[in-house]
Amino acid sequence: MQIYSYFAYISFFINYIMKIKTDFLVIGSGLAGLMYALKVAKHGKVVLITKTTMQETNTSYAQGGIASVAYSGDSYEKHVQDTLVAGAGLCNEKVVRNVIKEGPKMIKELIKLGTNFDKKPDGNYDLAREGGHSEPRIYHHKDNTGFEIQRAISEQVMNNENITVLENHFAIDLITQHQLGYITDRTQTNIECYGAYVFNKVEKKVYTILSKITYIGTGGLGNIYNSTTNPEIATGDGIAMVFRAKGFIENMEFVQFHPTALYNPSERPSFLITEAMRGFGGVLKDEKGYAFMKDYDERKDLAPRDIVARAIDNEMKVKGLTHVYLDCTMLNAEEIKQHFPNIYKKGLTINIDITKEMIPVVPAAHYLCGGIRVNKNGRTSIKSLYAAGETANTGLHGANRLASNSLLEAVVYADKAAKHSIKKIKKRSLKKGIQDWTDEGVSPLEEMVLITQEFRELQAIMSNYVGIVRSNLRLERALKRLEVIYMETKVLFNKSKVSVEICELRNAVNAAYLIIKMAKRRKESRGLNYNIDYPDKLIVL
């Protein structure tokens, strides 16, 4: 009895210290996560977790800027039409109109929170133009807008006493009725989220974070491809967690490749050469100096991204090139240095003076247009679970995102999700009886090389068969190869103690599976899903 009590005490104590309780759990420290956290913090305690450091987010890498109608020559209608055209008929028009109308208010808010956007000497904002935009409407901070936004909003979050930030905390899985053992069926519609299991990378312990409301802002998945502009954190974790929790995911086939990443094969992530450089007058050329975009689209270098990326892909295949070039040498050198100081400096590190030499560029995986389905309030199909930012599918982007619409979407939907969460929080309570994560009987992962190898194979499959140009045969082959990796990863996951590496691989496999499945299901070429078996059905608006 005494022994039993002792163990009961220890077990109670361990149980207590492995559980963290909060009103709001926010997963992700990018723009979507930070803005939501700031807004709900006025209505309860917030725990914000991020899998590496606060600053290591896609948001920090954003260069071009954030789109919003700003000057008298522009109009909401023009921005709406540009977005709809880029989206190739799959945007939700109501969502498009709503997000674009919210733009000016959100820009004001970002400025109020301390973000600096560049101004012209006359005091007006210096608006840039990017591909697919009929007017200049991109607010920017030199060529590192995302870094500036991340700096400003992070400062606000760090100074907010209602928000606890936990860096190096990796969300493994959402907690739903599955953990209580009474849901097995994907058709269930009453799934509810009670928080998440979270791995503390420093202590190497899994905590149960119980929350009344959970919010996912985990960003994209560029790292499931060989070459990407995304930092290492982008492995599709949020989407995979929701998929495993049996929530709805959609439009995954629409993976956007940015046309112009710097061609520097040893570098990962690939350094982006912002589209704003083409907006500024930069021209794509082949190795002989031929400006090829006129052969593909009347909008030439400023056609929507899917068209430009496909054109480059085609030039490289037909002419046997490893890359093409962006030529800015005819532009004013001083202006280039002033507007794009980071790209200029980056060029010098690899011995290219971009004001005198052409920049070698190649397309790279950049942005996921689909993701976790959310409604007009940012709520997922799972109760008490919200999502925003790149991980979410709101209906704004359709089959192809218009440049610089993603930061806008992240702030608008963080705001919507916050407003709805605030209304609901009083009715929510913490779930009792949730078991802590257990990995009894499993051993630490011995063969890290297996994970590294599986990840490389996954990236090769996605790049070779599920890239810019697809076919039914390639997709079929990709699925077969992926199934092998899926089975091997499952076995490895079940017999190993938790590590970030195995969790990320598991998530990447889930995300890749969803892309392939949805690409196979789409029997047409539309926007970013270009399949050579359906050339006659190519849909461009």
Q: Which span sits near ligand SIN by CB under 6 A: 13-21, 269-277, 460-468, 481-489? A: 269-277
Q: Which is nearer to ligand SIN, 173 or 327 (CB)?
A: 327
Q: Which is nearer to ligand SIN, 63 or 507 (CB)?
A: 63
Q: Which is nearer to ligand SIN, 275 or 504 (CB)?
A: 275
The correct pick among 154, 227, 406, 459 for binding ligand SIN (CB under 6 A) is 406
Burial of 443 (0-12, 13-18, 19+ CB in 10 A): exposed
CB of 50 to ligand SIN, least distance (A): 21
Site string for ligand FAD, 324-353 (x = CB under 6 A): ------------------------------
Q: Kindly identify the residues of this chain, within the stretch 271-330, that bind ligand SIN according to CB under 6 A.
A: 274-276
Q: Which span sits near ligand SIN by CB under 6 A: 32-40, 108-116, 268-276, 423-431? A: 268-276
Q: Residue 297: CB partners within 8 Å, gap ≥ 6?
A: 303, 307, 308, 311
Max CA pair span of the chain: 86
Report the phi/psi class of residue 136: left, alpha or beta, with left for phi > 0 and alpha for psi in -120 to 50. beta
Q: Residue 511: CB partners within 8 Å, gap ≥ 6?
A: 221, 224, 235, 236, 239, 240, 252
d(CA 359, CA 340): 13
Catalytic residues: 305
- Does the protein bind ligand FAD through residue 304 (CB under 6 A)? no
Residue identified by tokens 């990018």 is: 30
- Does the protein bind ligand FAD through residue 137 (CB under 6 A)? no
- Does the protein bind ligand SIN through residue 103 (CB under 6 A)? no
Q: Which span sits near ligand FAD by CB under 6 A: 61-69, 94-102, 245-253, 425-433? A: 61-69
Best CA proximity match to 51, nearest among 27, 75, 80: 27
Q: Among ligand SIN, ligand FAD, none, what does residue 347 contact (CB within 5–8 Å per kind)?
A: none
Strand partners, 361: 262, 324
The correct pick among 26, 49, 307, 361 for binding ligand FAD (CB under 6 A) is 49
Size of the chain, expressed as the number of residues it contains: 541
The correct pick among 107, 309, 403, 411 for binding ligand SIN (CB under 6 A) is 403
Q: Among ligand FAD, ligand SIN, none, what does residue 387 contact (CB within 5–8 Å per kind)?
A: none
Q: Which is nearer to ligand SIN, 59 or 63 (CB)?
A: 63
Q: Among ligand FAD, ligand SIN, none, what does residue 371 contact (CB within 5–8 Å per kind)?
A: none
User: Which runs of E-coded beta strand occur in 183-335?
Assistant: 195-200, 205-216, 249-250, 255-262, 283-285, 324-327
Secondary-structure breakdown of the chain: helix, strand, coil percentages, each rounded to the nearest 5: 40, 20, 40
Q: Which is nearer to ligand FAD, 358 or 396 (CB)?
A: 396
- Does the protein bind ligand FAD through residue 59 (CB under 6 A)? yes
- Does the protein bind ligand SIN through residue 64 (CB under 6 A)? yes
Best CA proximity match to 164, nearest among 86, 69, 47: 47
CB of 62 to ligand FAD, least distance (A): 3
Residue identified by tokens 């006129």 is: 294
Retrieve residue 217's tokens.
């802002």
Q: Residue 67: CB partners within 8 Å, gap ≥ 6?
A: 79, 103, 130, 133, 137, 138, 139, 402, 403, 404, 405, 407, 408
CB of 193 to ligand FAD, least distance (A): 15
Size of the site for ligand SIN (CB under 6 A): 9
d(CA 46, CA 36): 10
Report the phi/psi class of residue 28: left, alpha or beta, with left for phi > 0 and alpha for psi in -120 to 50. left
- Does the protein bind ligand SIN through residue 58 (CB under 6 A)? no
Size of the site for ligand FAD (CB under 6 A): 41
Chain Cα centroid distance, residue 253 = 14
d(CA 175, CA 188): 15
Q: Which is nearer to ligand FAD, 404 or 529 (CB)?
A: 404
Q: Kindly identify the residues of this chain, within the stretch 242-271, that bind ligand FAD according to CB under 6 A.
A: none
- Binding region for ligand FAD (CB under 6 A): 27-33, 49-52, 57-59, 61-66, 145-146, 170-171, 217-219, 229-230, 233, 237, 272, 367, 389-391, 404-407, 410
Binding site for ligand SIN (CB under 6 A): 63-64, 274-276, 367, 403-404, 406
